[in-house]
Homo-oligomer: A and B are copies of this chain.
Amino acid sequence: MNVFETLNANLLTQPFAGQDTAAILNQCQWISAMYAKVENAISVLSDLKNNKSYIYSGHIATALGLTYSQDMREINSIWEDEIFNRIHPDHLVGKHLMELKFFHLLKGLPLSERCDYQVNSYLQMRNQYEEYMSVQHRMFYLHSSNDGSVNLALCLYNFGISPLPVDKYQGAIVNMRSGKVMVSDNQQFSDILSFREKELLQLVKNGKSSKEIATILSISINTVNRHRQNILEKLHVKNSFEACKIAEAIELL
- Residues of chain A at the chain B interface (Cβ within 8 Å): 31, 34, 38-41, 58-60, 62-63, 115-116, 118, 120-121, 127, 133-135, 142, 158-164, 170-172, 174-179, 181, 184
Contact = CB atoms under 8 A, between A and B. Distances in A.
A176 to B, nearest CB: 4
27 contacts: A31-B34, A38-B142, A39-B118, A58-B176, A58-B177, A59-B176, A59-B177, A60-B177, A62-B177, A63-B177, A63-B178, A63-B179, A120-B161, A121-B161, A127-B179, A134-B179, A135-B179, A159-B174, A159-B175, A159-B176, A159-B179, A161-B172, A161-B174, A161-B184, A162-B163, A163-B164, A164-B164
Contacts of A59: 116, 176-177
Given A159-B174, A159-B175, 18 more contacts: A31-B38, A38-B115, A39-B176, A40-B116, A40-B177, A58-B177, A59-B177, A62-B177, A63-B178, A120-B160, A121-B161, A127-B179, A158-B176, A159-B176, A159-B178, A159-B179, A161-B170, A162-B163
A165 to B, nearest CB: 11
Contacts of A160: 120, 174
Contacts of A158: 176
Nearest to A173: B161
A181 B161 contact: yes
Contacts of A38: 31, 115, 142
Nearest to A136: B160
Nearest to A30: B34
Nearest to A135: B179
A145 B15 CA distance: 51
A120 B162 CA distance: 10
A174 B63 CA distance: 14
A184 B162 CA distance: 11
Nearest to A122: B161
A157 to B, nearest CB: 11
A173 to B, nearest CB: 10
A80 B121 CA distance: 30
A184 to B, nearest CB: 8
A27 to B, nearest CB: 10
